[in-house]
Amino acid sequence: MGYPEDALARDEELLLHRHPHWKMLFVPALTFILSTAVAGFLVGVVLNQEGTTRTVLLGLVVVVWVAVVAWRCIPPLLRWRSTHFIVTDRRVLIRHGVLTHTGIDIPMNRISSVQFRHGLFDRMLGTGTLIIGSASEDPLEYDDIPQVQQVHSLLYHQVFDADDHRENQ
């Protein structure tokens, strides 16, 4: 069993599992493409050199390229990959972190409101901010939720159905 199924209770049903929207990977991808293009150009220039100068310059280009990719591209990808937004029939789980993991669980019966917000650009990309209000705390905001309107609707129906179920008992 893989994540997030291993984080669920035995009879808990997984309804939704999402990572943040891919838009948070746009700048790292652009950085990777541009740094690779510049490195390729510099390798072409360096290949015209002779002897040890060529070897040293090639090594320098490779080291700088690896440093840029390791600094500007890999961490955002790891952050994206290690951030999970999960909805089950009982709760909402948010997990994030690479080295230090952070998580929050919000039981469905504690949710008092569900809202979403997205501007024009977010609407074009199909993403937005989900705002979950609980009875005892300030609302929690989660940015870059893919298909935020569908997630909002799912949560609303889960909370509404849970309220109906409690009233009928």
Nearest CA among 105, 97, 104 for reference residue 81 = 97
> Is the domain of 140 the same as that of 100?
yes
Do 73 and 119 lie in one domain? The reply is: no
Spell out where the chain has E strands: 14-18, 84-88, 91-96, 102-107, 111-117, 127-134, 140-146
Q: In sequence order, what are the residues at sequence separation of 6 or more whose Cβ sits closer than 8 angstroms to the Cβ of residue 36?
A: 65
Same domain, 55 and 94: no
How many domains does the chain contain in total?
A: 2
Global pTM value: 0.83
136/43: higher pLDDT: 43
Q: Could you read off the pLDDT of 70-109 as tens digits, one per residue?
A: 999 999 999 999 999 999 999 999 999 989 989 999 999 8
Within this chain, do residues 33 and 88 fall inside the same structural domain, yes or no? no
The DSSP output letter for 3 is: T
In whole angstroms, give the CA distance from residue 132 to residue 74.
30
Query: Do both 122 and 61 map to the same domain?
Result: no
Q: Quick one: CA dihedral 47, 51, 56, 62, positive or negative?
A: positive
- Does one domain contain both 72 and 94? no
Name the pLDDT band for 6 (thresholds 50, 70, 90).
confident
Query: What is the rounded CA–CA span in Å between residue 59 and residue 16?
Result: 46
Q: Is 102 exposed, middle or buried (CB count within 10 Å of its CB: 0-12, 13-18, 19+)?
A: exposed
Q: Assess whether 161 and 113 both reside in one domain.
A: yes
Give the number of other Cβ atoms within 10 Å of residue 114's Cβ: 21
The DSSP string of 106-129 is EEGGGEEEEEEE--HHHHHHTEEE
Whether residue 40 sits in one domain with residue 11 = no
Which among 162, 3, 161 has a CA at the least distance from the CA of 86? 3
At 165, is the pLDDT very low, low, confident or very high (cuts 50, 70, 90)?
A: low
Task: Give me the domain span that covers residue 160.
Answer: 5-20+84-168
Look at residue 7 in the predicted model and tell me its pLDDT: 80
Provide, rounded to the nearest whole percent, the portion of the chain with pLDDT above 70.
Answer: 94
Q: Looking at residue 148, which CATH number applies to its domain? A: 2.30.29.30
Of 46, 61, 77, which residue sits at a domain end? 77
